[in-house]
Amino acid sequence: MIRILNTAIGAVAAMALTVSLASGVRAAEPAPLNPPQKVKIAYVPIMKFATAYVAAGRGLFKKYGLDVDFEKVKSGTEAIAFLQQGTVDVGGIAIVTSLWNSWNRGLDIRIIAPGGLEPLKGSSTDLLVSKKAQEAGVKTVADLKGKRIGSAGGPGSGSEYLIAKALERVHLTIRDVNLINVSNPDIPAALAGGTIDAGLAGPPYSTQALKAGDAAVLATDLTPGLMTVAFVGSGKFIKERPQVAERFVVALTEAARMMQGDQYLSKENMDAYLKYTTSTEAAIKAAKPAVYDPNQSIPVKGLADIERVHRENGRTDYDKPIDLKKVIDEQFVEKAIADLGKAKE
């Protein structure tokens, strides 16, 4: 069942790796819970949460004795509020600065599985340089020192993190540039008009600027394999219903394995994508896909790096590295791999 709570946002692309089961010991798949157990998930209907759509659409949740109720929300902030209120068990959310501050203050939710990861190569998000700035001598990222860079979301946003990673390559920080909050749809015009020297953008806005000849790619593949969204479980769900959480993550893992290679665009998967998002088949096929890890590993090092950059940029209200035990609970992914066996490329 789907209850639409707010207007959905546009779909984000997804992709897959070709896998085979690695050799080794594999336990039996967990038995379905009987009677079936209710699980409520609040999610932003984008493609980076597509493992849940496939798990529902292809009967994997049902296979493990779960009756999953999807609730569309406008933002991860709303999902977090529902998690704290205890009205949902799982949230599909973006990892933003405010979350780090909340975790540091004791927010009782934990990442239990990854969403779709950034592509390992060929990311759809690029750091663009305006034609005017390029003609004025901006040829490399190092030349952006003191320049105006446009990004959506402002301080502490995911865009700021990506720009910070580009600057790190040449030993610069966001303090060395003039970061300007520009909405995604306004990036092409800002590049064309010269109000910014560079800007972070993805399709269709990057495509628009490049086709018009108003910008060129200055840097790309800024964070290969980065996890920007995740499935989080409420503390109550994890502590009081661990067997339900285990089966939820097993279903996500099995779904990820059904989305590898050519299977990604199978009819069964496409039907699931279209049911739980507002995208179209044509848009999904044309979009740059993300990576759905068939082992559903939580990229701990990447998360630690996101926290570090935001903290060093002065975007957190604390100044020492956070204890990631406040953030991640890997027991369910580990149990899923023990049950299904490890997959490899």
pLDDT tens figures, 159-187: 899 999 999 999 999 999 999 999 888 99
If asked whether residues 75 and 112 sit together in one domain, one would say yes
Q: What is the predicted pLDDT for the residue at 279?
A: 87
> Do 94 and 160 fall within a single domain?
no
For the chain, list residues with pLDDT below 50.
Answer: 1-20, 23-24
Same domain, 97 and 155: no
Number of structural domains (the chain) is 2
Per-residue pLDDT reduced to its tens digit, 36-48: 999 999 998 989 9
Q: Which two tokens stand for residue 191?
A: 């590049």
Shared domain check, 106 and 14:
yes
At 130 the pLDDT is: 97
d(CA 69, CA 261): 28
Which of 219, 246, 264 is at the close of a domain? Answer: 219
User: What's the confidence (pLDDT) of residue 27?
Assistant: 64
The verdict on 251 and 335 lying in the same domain is: yes
Same-domain status, 6 and 102: yes
Task: Look at residues 172, 204, 219 and tell me which one is the last residue of a structural domain.
Answer: 219
Q: Are 342 and 336 in contact (CB under 8 A)?
A: no
What CATH number is attached to the domain comprising 246?
3.40.190.10
Using the 3D structure, point to which of 192, 219, 246 is the last residue of a domain. Answer: 219
CA distance 235 to 37: 17
The parent domain of residue 213 ranges over 126-219
109 with 254, same domain: the answer is yes
